[in-house]
Structure 1
């Protein structure tokens, strides 16, 4: 079965979608899809679907949802399948398993590529890092499970994936800065800092890109806006790391000059979002 969760939910058997239109069966399928190849307990499914207030009929209702999913799978398998719907959506001791290779989902491929990109960045191979991280980010078709209303179990997993996505994006930008691509990053970073107005690392990366593009005064403006937002919204100053970068900009630190090997000054290396 083809599974994709980095965007609207996709679950296809023999090129036919098995995603139900009803909200709760879709929610159950999403949780099974995120854990494809691994057992999801009845308790976890119940918690996802109803939280702290499951109805007395929760077990029977969940079984009905499973039957609906199996009917969709059966229709996708065709009249003479090599295996039946119970072989695709299996009952286990304490839960259910959606039988699909866990390493072949888009989420698994994303995490694998992001790890490779980060490893390449840490060893100084910015070219490989940028390529692998860009490949990972292109797997995203929108917010994770964009067409599923999540309960608390799915919500936690969606937040985890979105955080990994942002980290991969930061890593890719760090690699591109090392490769001297500061000019082409300006538009992307300007949009990202507007979207994440308190995100220090993205603001630091924008400051570096501006400095390397000969726009030091704008880099100082970026810091000034971020500092004002921190003080107004959080009652805090920016981190010592970002303050050091600000000082480096003021002093015209040579490390801010564009080279093919330089990393962002005083920034930890870590890489667009739709």
Structure 2
């Protein structure tokens, strides 16, 4: 598991009286009239201002964690869907004119990322649904999702077939290593009835070795198939089990022969009995 000199001054001066100018990251005016990587933050956020997080936490403190998780995820997704729906016509028009590139939608932070030129950025900033347009300092040189090579498709295909094989979880825990017992983990699991079932953990690391104990623990994107296409419309091709943002492919396997930091971390988090 990796952008207007004289022109900018003229544009900035001519638009200085517009209130939407304060919604555009100033560094964008220093990058030249090029395709700029941006993140567009929507106005409707679950946590919008100081104190919101504490207020929400207090409000939800008496509810079970599983209920909070389900409700908050649903609310975050709905906010993102509703905000994007209000801008759908404008975004479709911009896409039709070739004014946006590589658009990707996000829902934990309600917004979307893409590349655009300054006039388009300013046009977006005029919309009341948009809170701010940031220069994406962490964007990679290429924002186009790519299909995998034949070798990688075959290798990931084997992982998919293994993942699809029935593999029920054991009824009881295997022998607990002494170091895990020593830190009181077994007691914590018992007291809190913590099994980990239903919890999804995102791991940002080197990828995994396709061992049965790790493959069976993978969370699969239910709306994606291994077919060289972006089935779920999120801008990522074949992101069945995650995504490699450096190679811009859905290949999340580690090609190392014996050592893999990503496998070590993933095994600690969710490794299954094999």
TM above 0.5, yes or no, is no
Higher helix share: 1
TM-score by length of 1: 0.29
